[in-house]
Amino acid sequence: MKIGIVLYPTFGGSGIVATELGKALSRKGHEIHFITYSQPVKLGVLRENIFYHEVSTSDYPLFEYTPYEQVLTSKLVDVVKFEKLDLLHVHYAIPHASAAYMAQQILKTQGINIPFITTLHGTDITLVGKDPSFEPVITFSINHSNIVTAVSENLKKDTINLFNIKKEIDVIPNFICLEDYRQTNNQKYKTRIAKNNEKVITHISNFRKVKRIQDVIRAFKIINDSIPSKLVLVGDGPERVKMERLGRELNISNHINFLGNLKSTREVLNISDLFMLPSSSESFGLAALEALACGVPVIATNKGGIPELVEHGKSGFLSDVGDFKDMSNNALHILNNEKVHNEFKLHALSDAKKFDIHQILPLYENIYAKSIENSI
């Protein structure tokens, strides 16, 4: 099939999922056209069957805000027509689903029928989407997508609760390419982070409020008072400076490494003993899945889609939002006993296998085929 994938090209989970999906589909022989405003960070060198179409906006003195959605729509019309695409798969409702709808209508007037699939990722629904300034557009574009998917049962439920949805939503969970996360020898990394063989606790996110990194740091303070340990914080975003300050206030900043955004997380995950994700809202938690794929147990909250991923008491522990004391108790329970730790590690790996890309990819291929069939 010839598939156009519309995505955010940044470090966010939705962009990573869309990029990895496109790469995996291309390996199966599909022709993939990524359409976005800059080269997706995880795309790497362009390979066979992969094409990249840049949506470039130009400044015009009349515009206080550049109308990205219109430029994207025109680009979609152009690429569908000239590359003879079979379908569009848009990741993140705003503004990708409404742009795809508009492109579909324009193409219809030219005798071209193109179905589009919208995948909801979470913040497009739970944070941005429910903002009244977006709500009518989101509701409309979900209801007018040919097929809608959500990355967890919980996100499907939230979408139905928050919007007036008339369309069936299929749940296709996020996935992981297990081979990419296979353990490698990372001794150099380990020495750099924990030269005295301290326990390594890791968190990865875009450092927004919803991630509650203060709970990671407060839980780590309790852990660090009890066992030699290091905290690794990967990512960047609005909360970073505040979190650096909190580390200093708690007098533990010499045990915290802020690594910034990393193109690949597997090196750091492979030297980690625990992963923490104390989000107040999380539709899926791709970073937690990456940790499980490296055999790293997860300490997280019982919110959103996380319980669909992490088995409480088996591959990790789930606490109420904000209960960093419970999180630190759970972390110490795992870290203080090697036998327990090893059991959790094994469970982590077996939980990750449920999200193996080889099982999830055919689900997308089926809905692609269905969307084409229904649009003929």
Please identify, using beta-carbon distances, which residue of 40 and 221 lies nearer to ligand GMT. Answer: 40
Tell me, residue by residue from 280 to 319, as one string, x for binding to ligand GMT by CB under 6 A and - for no binding: -xxxxxx---------------------------------
Q: Contact with ligand GMT (CB under 6 A): which of 9, 13, 95, 247?
A: 13
d(CA 265, CA 174): 17
CB 151 within 8 A of CB 284: yes
Among the residue ranges 11-19, 30-38, 225-233, 256-264, the one whose residues contact ligand GMT (CB under 6 A): 11-19
Token pair recorded at residue 349: 């790996």
Place of tokens 């890791």: 202
Output the smallest distance, CB 7 to ligand GMT, in A.
9
Nearest to 18 by CA among 39, 2, 31, 34: 34
Does 12 bind ligand GMT (CB under 6 A)? Our answer is yes
Which residue number, 175 or 324, has a Cβ lying nearer to ligand GMT?
175
User: What's the closest the beta carbon of residue 283 comes to ligand GMT, in angstroms?
Assistant: 4
Q: Pick from 5, 6, 9, 14: which binds ligand GMT (CB under 6 A)?
A: 14
Give the residue with the Cβ less far from ligand GMT, 9 or 115: 9
Over the window 40 to 79, marking each residue x when it contacts ligand GMT by CB under 6 A and - when it does not, the resulting string is: ----------------------------------------
CB neighbours of 177 closer than 8 A, spacing ≥ 6? Answer: 20, 24, 357
Q: What is the DSSP letter of 345?
A: H
Q: Are 121 and 156 in contact (CB under 8 A)?
A: no
- Shortest reach from residue 18's CB to ligand GMT, in Å: 9
The answer to whether residues 177 and 248 touch, using CB atoms and an 8 Å cutoff, is: no
Q: To the nearest whole angstrom, how small is the minimum distance from the Cβ of residue 123 to ligand GMT?
A: 5
x/- track of binding to ligand GMT for residues 169-208 (CB under 6 A): -----x-------------------------------x-x
Number of residues forming the site for ligand GMT (CB under 6 A): 20
Residues 66, 134, 5, CA angle at the centre, nearest 5°?
A: 65
Cβ nearer to ligand GMT, comparing 73 with 123: 123
**Positions 323 through 342 that interact with ligand GMT (CB under 6 A):** none
What lies within 8 Å, CB to CB, of 86 at 6+ separation is: 1, 2, 3, 114, 368, 372
Determine, following the binding rule CB under 6 A, whether residue 123 of this chain makes contact with ligand GMT.
Answer: yes
Spatial separation of the C-alpha atoms in residues 86 and 80, rounded to whole Å: 8
Q: How far is the CB of 302 from ligand GMT (least distance, A)?
A: 14
Helical spans, DSSP H, in 270-312: 286-293
For residues 314 and 339, is the Cβ–Cβ distance under 8 A? no
Stretch that binds ligand GMT, among 38-46, 117-125, 136-144, 319-327 (CB under 6 A): 117-125
User: Could you say which residues in the range 197-256 bind ligand GMT, by CB under 6 A?
Assistant: 206, 208, 210
Residues 93 and 129 sit within 8 Å (Cβ to Cβ): yes
CA geometry: angle 354, 357, 359, nearest 5 deg: 60
Shortest CA distance to 88 belongs to which of 146, 44, 159? 146
C-alpha–C-alpha distance, residues 203 and 213, integer Å: 8
Choice between 156 and 230, CB closer to ligand GMT: 156
Three-class SS state of 99: helix
Task: Name which of 331, 297, 330 is nearest 311 in CA terms.
Answer: 297
**Binding pattern to ligand GMT, positions 127-166, x when CB under 6 A?**
------------------------x---------------
Question: Which positions lie near ligand GMT, rule CB under 6 A?
Answer: 12-14, 17, 92, 121-123, 126, 151, 174, 206, 208, 210, 281-286
